[in-house]
């Protein structure tokens, strides 16, 4: 059997979202021979199904809300397929125009996008599509997050936010479970496009990580836009097929609560996207929450989405430094060096 081709670098950064691009640029500018690998297109979630498409959709939603006054003057409507074409154009343009891509090339970073998931073979080697191998002394993991999939019966009947963007027409009705930034944005966009939206939180309020006054104002704004906001729904028990499409059943304090819609979007937070990396091959054990419990030596990883990995305990300290941690004394010395 032929030996797989292999390239050798000082640093390999995995994931070309905002975090990976900056990490690769920094490594190369510090003089490291650097490669940037990405499973998908350059730009990560930000360009693909996060802020860039959502801003385009939100802009269209604002225009639609404005256009509601149009019958007084004439007529105006939004074509959903045309809107999706516009989203594709904008995301493509953002990827092409990214100044950082030119910076990376100028700094000599070897950029390899859409190469499929990279996975560790051992602590110094990763492999991507076609059996191509890269070796490095240090790896920086910037693989971002994936939507949290709730372990509930019938969860396969639901979709994540990115599938909501990909629909070919706005559904007649939509349940959105989860009321942080993503859930609220999905709800307000589809409500403006004519979908009957129910936004649901198991807790007592929406946007529970924001100031209370902000949450109250946004809640009122969503209701004024025709969205039914259900808080304190109680724990979700299951999803089933229902008369409109999907039925969600919650155990509310007042008894079972059922909500029906054509589509159910679950926006229940994020988990680190590490499943395809085969981190165990690099001798890495994942910790559930680095803020509460430090992960075991030798590798130290955070699970908030952006991760760092390097070989050996000394290198692990370097890796932590890359994430901006370190003792106050270390941070002071670093700040003094920068000055």
Ligand X SMILES: Cc1cc2nc3c(=O)[nH]c(=O)nc-3n(C[C@H](O)[C@H](O)[C@H](O)COP(=O)(O)OP(=O)(O)OC[C@H]3O[C@@H](n4cnc5c(N)ncnc54)[C@H](O)[C@@H]3O)c2cc1C
- 176 close to 183: Cβ distance less than 8 angstroms: yes
* 154 forms part of the interface with ligand X (CB under 6 A): no
Question: Rounded to whole angstroms, how far apart are CA atoms 17 and 306?
Answer: 10
Which residues lie closer than 8 Å to 324 by C-beta, 6 or more apart?
none
Q: Under rule CB under 6 A, which residues in 75-94 are in contact with ligand X?
A: none
Kindly tell me which of 48 and 242 has the beta carbon lying closer to ligand X. 48
**Residue of the chain from 19, 157, 187, 202 that contacts ligand X (CB under 6 A):** 19
* 51 forms part of the interface with ligand X (CB under 6 A): yes
Shortest gap between Cβ of 232 and ligand X (angstroms)? 25
Pure H helices in the chain: 18-29, 44-48, 51-67, 80-97, 99-106, 161-166, 181-192, 212-224, 312-322, 328-338
Kindly tell me which of 14 and 246 has the beta carbon lying closer to ligand X. 14
**Residue of the chain from 39, 112, 219, 300 that contacts ligand X (CB under 6 A):** 39
Q: Which stretch binds ligand X (CB under 6 A): 37-45, 103-111, 189-197, 213-221?
A: 37-45
Q: Under rule CB under 6 A, which residues in 313-332 are in contact with ligand X?
A: none
Shortest gap between Cβ of 221 and ligand X (angstroms)? 18
Taking alpha carbons only, the member of 210, 254, 261, 212 closest to residue 234 is: 254
Kindly tell me which of 50 and 242 has the beta carbon lying closer to ligand X. 50
Question: Rounded to whole angstroms, how far apart are CA atoms 84 and 258?
Answer: 32
Q: Under rule CB under 6 A, which residues in 174-203 are in contact with ligand X?
A: 182, 185
Q: Which stretch binds ligand X (CB under 6 A): 39-47, 71-79, 189-197, 234-242?
A: 39-47
- 323 close to 302: Cβ distance less than 8 angstroms: yes
Shortest gap between Cβ of 33 and ligand X (angstroms)? 19
Shortest gap between Cβ of 15 and ligand X (angstroms)? 3
* 101 forms part of the interface with ligand X (CB under 6 A): no
- 305 close to 323: Cβ distance less than 8 angstroms: no
Taking alpha carbons only, the member of 92, 80, 101 closest to residue 47 is: 92
Task: Please count the other Cβ atoms lying within 10 Å of the Cβ belonging to residue 33.
Answer: 17
- 216 close to 277: Cβ distance less than 8 angstroms: no
* 273 forms part of the interface with ligand X (CB under 6 A): yes
Which residues would be at the binding site for ligand X (CB under 6 A)? 14-20, 37-40, 44-46, 50-51, 54, 117-118, 142-144, 161, 182, 185, 273, 276-277, 305-306
């Amino acid at each position: 059997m032929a030996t797989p081709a292999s390239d050798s670098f000082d640093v390999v950064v995995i994931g070309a979202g905002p975090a990976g691009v900056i990490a690769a640029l920094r490594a190369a500018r510090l003089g490291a021979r650097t490669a940037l690998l990405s499973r998908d297109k350059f730009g990560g979630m930000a360009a693909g199904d996060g802020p860039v498409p959502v801003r385009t959709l939100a802009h269209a939603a604002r225009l639609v809300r404005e256009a509601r006054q149009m019958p007084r003057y004439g007529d105006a409507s939004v074509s959903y397929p045309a809107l999706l074409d516009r989203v594709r154009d904008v995301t493509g343009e953002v990827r092409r125009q990214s100044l950082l891509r030119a910076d990376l090339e100028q700094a000599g970073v070897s950029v390899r996008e859409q190469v499929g998931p990279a996975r560790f073979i051992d602590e110094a080697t990763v492999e991507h599509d076609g059996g191509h191998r890269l070796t490095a002394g240090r790896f920086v993991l910037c693989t971002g997050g994936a939507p949290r999939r709730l372990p509930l019966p019938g969860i396969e009947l639901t979709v994540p936010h990115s599938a909501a963007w990909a629909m070919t027409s706005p559904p007649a009705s939509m349940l959105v479970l989860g009321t942080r930034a993503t859930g609220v944005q999905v709800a307000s966009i589809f409500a403006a496009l004519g979908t009957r939206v129910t936004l649901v939180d198991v807790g007592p309020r929406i946007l529970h990580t924001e100031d209370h006054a902000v949450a109250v104002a946004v809640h009122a704004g969503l209701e004024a836009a025709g969205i039914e906001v259900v808080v304190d729904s109680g724990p979700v028990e299951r999803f089933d097929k229902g008369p409109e499409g999907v039925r969600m059943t919650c155990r509310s304090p007042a008894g079972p609560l059922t909500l029906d819609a054509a589509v159910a979007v679950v926006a229940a937070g994020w988990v680190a996207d590490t499943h395809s990396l085969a981190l165990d091959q690099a001798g890495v054990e994942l910790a559930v929450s680095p803020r509460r419990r430090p992960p075991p030596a030798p590798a130290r990883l955070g699970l908030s989405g952006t991760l760092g990995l390097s070989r050996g305990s000394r290198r692990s300290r370097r890796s932590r430094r890359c994430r901006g941690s370190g003792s106050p004394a270390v941070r002071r010395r670093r700040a003094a060096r920068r000055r």
